[in-house]
Amino acid sequence: MRAGPREHRERDAYLLTGLVASRLSGELDAICRPFGITESQYAVLWVVCLSGEKRGVVQGDISDGLVTRAADVSRIVNRLEAADLVARTRDVVDGRVQWVKPTSTGRALFDRVTREIKKLHRRQFGALDEVEIRTLNRLLNRVLWGEGS
């Protein structure tokens, strides 16, 4: 069976999306590497540093909204804790719950890496104007979450 024009465009959109994701992710990882962290570790620091909660974030909630699977978060937090970038504390009411918050070292590292990532994003999306960026975000959300988003 021959593929029609729409099928070709859908396949092309899929391939381009994968290529773009791979390139952007590689560039982000290249920013993180000199700071001694991975892209996934930065993503966890991002959630923890921007939570606004004094206690931090419940470890089980960190993967919400991240590409990282919940099963990987524990391993990532272990590495961040070993590097003194985050600290964990047990909840006083429910000892099964662990709170994760950045250390002062972790927050300082996050701030330095974030400055570089903001510059990277300006380069990555510099060819698009504001309307195109909003349109891209809207379209990607529709693909990710479905027609009703």
pLDDT in tens, 78-88: 999 999 999 99
Q: Per-residue pLDDT averaged across 108-125, rounded?
A: 97
Q: Per-residue pLDDT averaged across 31-59, rounded?
A: 93
Cβ atoms 47, 59 nearer than 8 A: no
Provide the CATH number for the domain around residue 31: 1.10.10.10
Domain that holds residue 94: 5-145
Domain count for the chain, please give it. 1
d(CA 84, CA 108): 12
d(CA 114, CA 116): 5
Mean pLDDT score across all residues of the chain: 91
Phi, psi of 30 (to 5 degrees): -65, -30
pTM of the model: 0.85
Q: Per-residue pLDDT averaged across 29-37, rounded?
A: 97
Residue 147: how many CB atoms within 10 A of its CB? 6
